Amino acid sequence: MDITGIVAQLVFGLVAVLTLVAGFLTVTFRNVFHAGLALVGTFFGVAAIYLMLEAEFLAVVQVLIYIGAIAVLILFAIMLTRGLMQSETSNINKQWAWAALAIATLFLGMFLIILQVPWVHSGGAVYLDITPFLGTQLLTTYLLPFEVVSVLLLAALVGAFIIARE
Amino acid sequence: MDIWSFITNPLVSLSQLINNLITSILMSLGIPADITRIVVFLITGIITITILLLLAPGMMMYMTWLERKLVARMQDRLGPNRVGPFGLLQPIADMIKFLTKEDIVPEGVDGPVHLLAPIVVVIPVILSFAVIQFGVGLGAVDLNLALLYLVALGSVATIGVFMAGFGSHNKFAMIGGMRAAAQIISYEIPQVLALSIPVLLAGSISLTGIVQAQSGLFGLGWFFFYIPIGPIAFLAYLIAATAEVNRVPFDLPEAESELVAGYHTEYSGMKFGLFYLAEFLNTFLISAIAATVFFGGWQGPLVAQIPILGVVYFFGKTILLITVQLWFRGTLPRIRVDQLMNFGWKRLVPLTLGLVLFTAITLPIYRFVMLALKGLGG
Amino acid sequence: MTLHIPLVYYLIVAAALFCIGLFGALARKNAIAVLMGIELMLNAVNINLVAFWRYGSPNPVSNQAGIVFALFVITLAAAEAAVGLALVIAVYRSRDTVNVEEIDLLKW
């Protein structure tokens, strides 16, 4: 009876269920502001999954960028594009039945494939503070993508500014 | 556990004693080691959380007392002095008022959003208290990424402010909420850049690492004294963090509630009490962070021999910085929203970017020179 | 601790989140809701990448390709959300609607 394993699996089950429920609410809420708030909940759930995978830096960056910046951006855009009347009509468009069918098929297919592939588990890592190694690798092995992404962010910044200007 | 460690470090010794006591009780009852470990972890965790949750509102209450007395004296009048000696029981009276006031919920308000907004504003602040190191080894958790964690939680408050503005079904509240959100996200960048200066100087993002890197010069080697980058970074952080938590002179989102409306205009009773709690806890938090990263936190003379002095130093520095914030409140006028945006984007962001660039370029050169001098001398 | 939870669980959660996001992107009327579905899909992909980093590489500390990849995906998601939302706001300004069923013809 491995108590740590049982506790770990319980925690994982809880976090996974909360994340999927929040994701489901994001795509089914009629009021798009409420859907935005459910999206924030999903982001927190995904950050918790990163913590369980021992990627703490990524979890904190997820909260900082996705919730602190992207979710705020989405909420600002929702605020700025509200109609005069907050219409409570259905928020699902005409092709939802076909979409649901295709997606159910896709999920079933992926589920079966995932269960059948013989995944190779490498040995477990010793727990260390991996952030210094991440920083070093970002600036040595992955320096080119790092610089390209910064140029891309500059382009996105200027582009968004110009498109949304009056 | 001898008497000397009990005298010089009572809190840590007490917690170790309780830990050992509970572990031995549970082991003697025949419970296997695995489950004992988990139960002890849960019990000590609950005790720590209870202490923090009692400490935070208690400090907030006496900070409100300090603010009213201090601002009153600056304005040449006495503060509250009727309720208890020197008005010391005034915060308790305020708390009773908040708890018993009627909770007015306007019609047409977006139910769950309106209800959850104060909670989403308060919870990140209380979560941030978990990583503050109140003394030597006296933090609830010692994260490797403590400073980044604090920054990330500061950015979650934006969502709460948005929810408060949107859920109130009031045009002025919504505009106030959007302005407050814009202010918070604009001043996040200078705040993060100013906080990355101590990270560069200490080589670590954990608060314990940053505090321990300031231990030179008999415990007075604080980053504030690293002229010229220390004081400028501290000033930039103080200004940016004051804007982040909507304190004077950046309290336009709240001042609107005196003139027209603000994002917490439709809140009364305990919900407003939660916003008020969040504001004062935020003030304490930014003073604590500034004291830890720029002034050495629990670092000071003789801390290695008598660790309990660390708590005294930490609270002394934090209360000093809180007093500076309250001094701002008593003296400075409010900034207009366009001046605020102008100052944030056109002055603070280039300043902090330049500071980071300067530090990153000169720090290796300085270290190399110091190493070379040591090599020549020794 | 991670090896108590099999890799398959993480992959299934990521697949489910991806399918939920795909439903949001295909079946919603509001253009911003479609963008939210896209963000869900990107998050699901990130979970996959990090799970494979943790379970798949023999030395996760010195080979952090998975985390670096996920970090770049987060950055690109931010850039794409910014530009996408700017486009939605611009369309709202000229057409006064963000309903994707109504924004289906260019100027004729």
pLDDT class for C24, splitting at 50, 70, 90? very high
Q: Is the pLDDT of residue C81 over 90?
A: yes
Among A84, A114, A139, the domain boundary falls at A84
pLDDT at B41: 85
Range of the domain at A51: 1-84
pLDDT class for B25, splitting at 50, 70, 90? confident
Residues A3 and A80 in one domain: yes
Q: Mean per-residue pLDDT for B168-179?
A: 81
Q: Which chains touch B (3 or more CB pairs under 8 A)?
A: A
Quote the DSSP letter at residue C72.
H
The answer, for A16 touching chain C at a CB cutoff of 8 Å, is yes
Q: Is A103–C23 a contact, with Cβ atoms under 8 angstroms apart?
A: yes
Residues A77 and A132 in one domain: no
Which two three-digit tokens encode residue B145? 């990424």
Poorest-pLDDT segment among A21-30, A118-127, B261-270, C59-68: A118-127
pTM: 0.91
Sequence spans of domains, chain B: 1-96, 101-377
Q: Mean per-residue pLDDT for B68-91?
A: 85
Residues A1 and A79 in one domain: yes
Provide the domain count of chain A: 2
Q: Is residue C44 part of a domain?
A: yes
ipTM (interface predicted TM):
0.91
pLDDT at C1: 47
pLDDT at C77: 95
Q: Is residue C106 part of a domain?
A: no
B162 with B123: CB under 8 angstroms?
A: no
The answer, for A37 touching chain B at a CB cutoff of 8 Å, is yes
Range of the domain at C38: 2-95
Among A84, A112, A139, the domain boundary falls at A84
Task: List the 39-98 stretch of A: residues with Cβ below 8 A of C.
Answer: 39, 42-43, 46, 49-50, 52-55, 57-58, 61-62, 65-66, 69-70, 73-74, 76-78, 80-81, 83, 90-96
Chain C CB contacts of A61 below 8 Å:
71, 74
Chain B CB contacts of A56 below 8 Å:
143-145
Q: Is A68–B174 a contact, with Cβ atoms under 8 angstroms apart?
A: no
Q: Mean per-residue pLDDT for B129-158?
A: 90
pLDDT at B270: 84
Quote the DSSP letter at residue B262.
-
Chain B CB contacts of A7 below 8 Å:
38
Q: Mean per-residue pLDDT for B224-245?
A: 90
Task: List the 152-181 stretch of B: residues with Cβ below 8 A of A.
Answer: 152-153, 155-156, 158-159, 162-163, 166, 174, 178, 181
pLDDT at B346: 93
Quick one: which of B91, B110, B107 has its CA closest to B99?
A: B91
Q: Is A57–B155 a contact, with Cβ atoms under 8 angstroms apart?
A: no
Provide the domain count of chain C: 1
Please, which contacts does A87-91 make with residues 24 or more away whose CB atoms are closer than 8 Å? A88/A30, A88/A31, A89/A30, A90/A30, A90/C29, A91/A29, A91/A30, A91/A32, A91/A35, A91/C28, A91/C29, A91/C30, A91/C33
Poorest-pLDDT segment among A10-14, A54-58, B222-226, C102-106: C102-106
Count of Cβ atoms closer than 10 Å to residue A142 Cβ:
18
Distance, in angstroms, between C49 CA and closest chain A CA?
A: 11
Q: What's the one-letter identity of residue B295? A: F
pLDDT at A87: 59
pLDDT at B217: 76
- CA torsion, ordered C64, C65, C70, C73, to nearest 10 deg: 140
Poorest-pLDDT segment among A28-32, B45-49, B103-107, B350-354: B103-107
pLDDT at A27: 92
B358 with B99: CB under 8 angstroms?
A: no
pLDDT class for A89, splitting at 50, 70, 90? low
Q: How far apart are CA C83 and CA C73, in angstroms?
A: 15
Q: Is C67–A58 a contact, with Cβ atoms under 8 angstroms apart?
A: yes
Which of B81 and A21 is assigned the larger pLDDT? A21
The CATH number linked to A60 is 1.20.120.1200
Q: Is the pLDDT of residue B378 over 60?
A: no
Q: Is residue C41 part of a domain?
A: yes
Q: Is residue C103 part of a domain?
A: no
Looking at chain C, which residue has its C-alpha nearest residue A29?
Answer: C33
User: Which percentage of chain A shows pLDDT scores above 70?
Assistant: 91
Looking at chain A, which residue has its C-alpha nearest residue B171?
Answer: A79
Q: Is the pLDDT of residue A112 over 60?
A: yes
User: Which percentage of chain B shows pLDDT scores above 70?
Assistant: 97
* Phi, psi angles (nearest 5°) of residue B226: -85, 75
Poorest-pLDDT segment among B187-196, B240-249, B276-285: B240-249
Q: Is A67–B174 a contact, with Cβ atoms under 8 angstroms apart?
A: no
Q: What's the one-letter identity of residue B2? A: D
The count of CB pairs under 8 A between chains A and B is 65
What is the average pLDDT score of chain B? 86
Q: Is the pLDDT of residue C59 over 50?
A: yes
Residues A80 and A133 in one domain: no
Which of B328 and B221 is assigned the larger pLDDT? B328
Q: Mean per-residue pLDDT for B132-137?
A: 87
Residues A72 and A138 in one domain: no
Residues A154 and A80 in one domain: no
The CATH number linked to C32 is 1.10.287.3510
Q: Is A72–B181 a contact, with Cβ atoms under 8 angstroms apart?
A: yes
Element (H, E) at B314: helix B308-331
